Structure 1
Amino acid sequence: MTILDRKTPPQFNGVENITLIHPQTTKLDNGCNLFTFNSGGQDLVRIEWIFGNLRFNPAKPLLNVAVNTLLTEGTSTLTAAQIADKIDFYGAFLQVDYGYDNSQVTLYTLTKHLQSTLPVIKDILTDSIFPEKELETYVRNQQQKLQVSLQKNDVVARRTFNKAIFGPTIYGSAASPEDFVSLKREDLQAHYKEMYQPGNCTIIIAGKADEAIVDAVSGMFKGEWGQATITADTTQPMLSPPMDKFIYVEKADALQSAIRIGMPFVNRTHPDFPALQVLNTVLGGYFGSRLMANIREDKGYTYGIGSGMTSFKQVGSFFIASEVGADVCKSAVSEIEKEVNLLKDQLIPDEELSLVRNFMLGSLLGSLENVLSHADKFKNLYFAGLDYDYYDRYTQTVKNITAEELKALANKYFNFDDFYKVIVGKY
């Protein structure tokens, strides 16, 4: 019997390289792109139908999200309850998801039930009718949810911040109760016919996606869907953020104030993006970050604070977000500014940078636990127009970037006076 030596820690090995699964690619004759990640193994498959959102119309700002949400609320032959019952009967799971750039329908199912569940998806994507009763219920529920959400300072801060940095675009639009009232069934139907067509669709299959599964999906979704007669316009208007960079939404009885600070930023396609992710992680991107150490652990102003970077098709953003005691809001903002400026003035110590490197590479490796995760990484690349060498550059940047290079990046990008600052509560 081997006795463990508990006085000697296990050997530590750094992450040398990341190996990603590449998909098999097929283009259907109707223009739909199909990507397959076949893991073998368990008889489970995830299929995603992903559609580019149509060009944002400020006069009808909720069409993309409303159409996506109401896809499963009825077709010519199935009610919402019947759709749910058919999926549940086979132990499958169906969900619809809306994002700023794309909307999608996702099916999780056992492979042996695919022939029974796939026709339900085909019906949804080709024959949704948006029943008036379901639309009325959606409008009523969303208005109630919005009224509750607008009582939360962090929600108001996020909405206000996005509107400030992205302006009247799909990225900056914040729904009002009146926007829900203006939704009309005929507008949803027209939007649906233009958007949910094969030329605007990407199908991604992951799991036990053998030849029979691929043939079943491609056979079901080949040919034209409905009567699509126009090309889906997925372009988006250019950003034009306002000049006002300090926005204060006062709430006299607030016990806490929500803080949101940041700016429009580079997205994943920019060569500096991986290096800036390292800088962001040092500042506020993990639990051991500088913002957490200062404002939570040292000052006790908040339960949590962090910074992040988002990447969209057109643009990205950098933000710092927290909720702090209303009486220490100004002090918290001052400490945030101090931490940002320290990155510009002082080199990050080797020990801290090493910790961040290991955290980031470990997080990337840990996020690749199964074939579905590999498919998700592929989506990040594909919809940004990038190749797999992006992750090679990412890992090399994380492993090799120097403190001097990070300081130079902080001076290039982090001018606190240029940051948009949103405070909701007391200041």
Structure 2
Amino acid sequence: MTNEPMTELNRTLAPDFKAIDNITLIRPEHKTLGNGCNIYCFNSGDQELVRIEWVFNNLRFNPAKPLLNMAVNTMLTEGTNTLTAAQIADKIDFYGAFLQVDYGYENSQVTLYSLNKHLHQTLPVIADLLTNSVFPEKELETFKRNQQQKLQVSLQKNDIVARRDFNKAIYGNTIYGLGASFDNYKSLQRDDLAAHYKLQYQPSNCSIIIAGKVDATALALITDTFDKGWTNGPITADTTQPELQAAAERFYFTEKSDALQSAIRIGTPTINRNHPDFQALQVLNTVYGGYFGSRLMTNIREDKGYTYGIGSGLGSFKQGGSFFIATEVGADVCKAAVTEIEKELNILKTDLVPAEELSLVRNYMLGSLLGSLENVFSHADKFKSIYFAGLDYDYYDRYADTVKNITSDKLIELANQYFHFDEFYKVIVGKY
């Protein structure tokens, strides 16, 4: 132990930013099984643990039966020819594994976390789900009642109503614009679910993404389980989706006379991540409303005190994208908040973003990307984002390059090209 005096830390000075020079992503090994199923393997880490995802493209949206994709995926764990829902849960729990099903607009997936030494016990359960699910009538009726009750509660919330109305306006009668109704749930039939299941959950419509410590034994076991005995049906799954058709009406107001807060949703259809401008638009969005230090937060939360939170974002789907602003504000300041939202948007079209602010945004965006790569599962998630969009890893190289080098002049150009507030869709639920 020394008696040297400690250097006093000057807490009035912020630590220096350190530029992020390079971001390296783990890339998967790939193989295609004889039945057409694609396997992507991320082998990394020391723990004897793997995450396996079976990802299926959703079938083409059918407006006459709009909930089939969601209902089939959600009910996969409700029973097979040989196992009840309780038995499925017990088998997974007994081996310390974790099973979940997730539904998205374009994909449905089954995810298993399992210790390597128990894969020979847990994988057959997944194989049973993907080949022998039966959607028992009793469980289907319970599912319908539960979903209707959840919907009834949700429709009392202004922000959920605003989101439903906004999506319907900009995406039209597609899966992206669907706002499920009580009748939609009531009309679900077991035979429809079973037919949909057989068509969608085929190996040729599946990508298996494995991440963790994947040794040769584990990979061979996964390959054998989902190659032999898992066959395609006679009809190829149609996974195309209808074109988006935005509504002609651009203003939607649902009055609630007793509302203390009004929900605001404003935005427009725009480009998706396949467009060369998308990454630059992400920078502009971050400046405007994409992080806690954004202009919307600074003005409407910190300065005006109209809300606890406000933000903007970019949605990217296969059929297109959207730019949106979302918040809930005091009902008495709703009009004032909309005015400030427009004002901040127009400033981006006329005033250069100061160098200091742009530097802060750059460091935030690159730091967020780097921070999101904390383990091998995160690297697999980054792969999924580009794989299902039909992109390659150069997408992330271009992202980093754009964030590092974009200029304030380019941001003004983008704002004038993509942001036309008079043409935006505006949804208000509450008082206005």
| TM-score computed with the length of structure 1 as normaliser | 0.98
Q: Distance in 2 between matches of 1:142 and 1:129?
A: 19
Give 2:176's aligned amino acid. Answer: Y
Give 1:26's aligned amino acid. Answer: K
Q: Distance in 1 between matches of 2:85 and 2:276?
A: 46
The one-character-per-residue Cα deviations of 1:40-68 (angstroms, maximum 9, x if unpaired) are 41011000000000000000000000000
SS state at 1:328 partner? helix
2:407 paired residue number? 402
Identity of matched residues, % = 72
Structure 1: runs of 5 or more not aligned? none
Give 1:15's aligned amino acid. Answer: I
Structure 1 residue corresponding to 2:170, chosen from 148, 165, 171 = 165
Q: Distance in 2 between matches of 1:396 and 1:335?
A: 32
1:95 paired residue number? 100
The one-character-per-residue Cα deviations of 1:132-171 (angstroms, maximum 9, x if unpaired) are 0000000000000000000000000001000000000011
Give 1:214's aligned amino acid. Answer: L
Q: Distance in 1 between matches of 2:279 and 2:120?
A: 42
Instruction: Give the drift of 1:312.
Output: 1.0
Instruction: Give the drift of 1:224.
Output: 5.2
Q: Distance in 2 between matches of 1:204 and 1:391?
A: 19
**For residues 366-405 of structure 1, what are the structure 2 equivalents within 5 Å?**
366-405=371-410
**For residues 4-403 of structure 1, what are the structure 2 equivalents within 5 Å?**
4-7=7-10, 12-223=17-228, 225=230, 228-403=233-408
Give 2:134's aligned amino acid. Answer: I
Q: Distance in 1 between matches of 2:299 and 2:281?
A: 21
Instruction: Give the drift of 1:5.
Output: 4.8
Instruction: Give the drift of 1:227.
Output: 6.0
Give 1:311's aligned amino acid. Answer: S
SS state at 2:175 partner? coil
| Matched pairs, number | 427
The one-character-per-residue Cα deviations of 1:180-202 (angstroms, maximum 9, x if unpaired) are 00000000000000000001000
The one-character-per-residue Cα deviations of 1:366-387 (angstroms, maximum 9, x if unpaired) are 0000000000000011001111
Q: Distance in 2 between matches of 1:225 and 1:127?
A: 11
Q: Distance in 1 between matches of 2:15 and 2:428?
A: 47
Q: Distance in 1 between matches of 2:235 and 2:228?
A: 16
Q: Distance in 1 between matches of 2:313 and 2:72?
A: 29
- Given that residues 49 and 204 in structure 1 are in contact (C-alpha distance below 8 angstroms), is that contact kept between their aligned partners in structure 2? yes
SS state at 1:117 partner? helix
The one-character-per-residue Cα deviations of 1:21-48 (angstroms, maximum 9, x if unpaired) are 0000000010000000000410110000
Q: Which sits farther off after the overlay, 64-73 or 222-231? A: 222-231
Q: Distance in 1 between matches of 2:91 and 2:287?
A: 48
Q: Distance in 1 between matches of 2:120 and 2:171?
A: 44
- Given that residues 46 and 205 in structure 1 are in contact (C-alpha distance below 8 angstroms), is that contact kept between their aligned partners in structure 2? yes
Instruction: Give the drift of 1:323.
Output: 0.1
Q: Which sits farther off after the overlay, 98-107 or 225-234? A: 225-234
Instruction: Give the drift of 1:124.
Output: 0.2
- Given that residues 35 and 231 in structure 2 are in contact (C-alpha distance below 8 angstroms), is that contact kept between their aligned partners in structure 1? no
Instruction: Give the drift of 1:9.
Output: 6.5
Q: Distance in 1 between matches of 2:354 and 2:14?
A: 24
Q: Distance in 1 between matches of 2:328 and 2:83?
A: 45
- Given that residues 105 and 176 in structure 2 are in contact (C-alpha distance below 8 angstroms), is that contact kept between their aligned partners in structure 1? yes
Q: Distance in 1 between matches of 2:380 and 2:164?
A: 30
- Given that residues 30 and 224 in structure 1 are in contact (C-alpha distance below 8 angstroms), is that contact kept between their aligned partners in structure 2? no
- Given that residues 48 and 104 in structure 1 are in contact (C-alpha distance below 8 angstroms), is that contact kept between their aligned partners in structure 2? yes
SS state at 1:30 partner? coil
Instruction: Give the drift of 1:104.
Output: 0.1
Q: Distance in 2 between matches of 1:5 and 1:114?
A: 55
SS state at 1:368 partner? coil
Give 1:156's aligned amino acid. Answer: V
Q: Which sits farther off after the overlay, 57-66 or 311-320? A: 311-320
Q: Distance in 2 between matches of 1:259 and 1:368?
A: 33
Runs of 4+ residues deviating >6 angstroms:
none
- Given that residues 40 and 210 in structure 1 are in contact (C-alpha distance below 8 angstroms), is that contact kept between their aligned partners in structure 2? no
Give 1:191's aligned amino acid. Answer: H
- Given that residues 347 and 403 in structure 1 are in contact (C-alpha distance below 8 angstroms), is that contact kept between their aligned partners in structure 2? yes
Give 2:346's aligned amino acid. Answer: N
- Given that residues 43 and 213 in structure 2 are in contact (C-alpha distance below 8 angstroms), is that contact kept between their aligned partners in structure 1? yes
Q: Distance in 1 between matches of 2:303 and 2:35?
A: 59
SS state at 1:14 partner? coil
Give 1:120's aligned amino acid. Answer: V
Q: Distance in 2 between matches of 1:344 and 1:325?
A: 28
- Given that residues 98 and 112 in structure 2 are in contact (C-alpha distance below 8 angstroms), is that contact kept between their aligned partners in structure 1? yes
Give 1:331's aligned amino acid. Answer: A
Q: Distance in 1 between matches of 2:216 and 2:56?
A: 24
CA RMSD of aligned residues (A): 1.1
The one-character-per-residue Cα deviations of 1:54-85 (angstroms, maximum 9, x if unpaired) are 00000000000000000000000000000000
- Given that residues 204 and 232 in structure 2 are in contact (C-alpha distance below 8 angstroms), is that contact kept between their aligned partners in structure 1? no
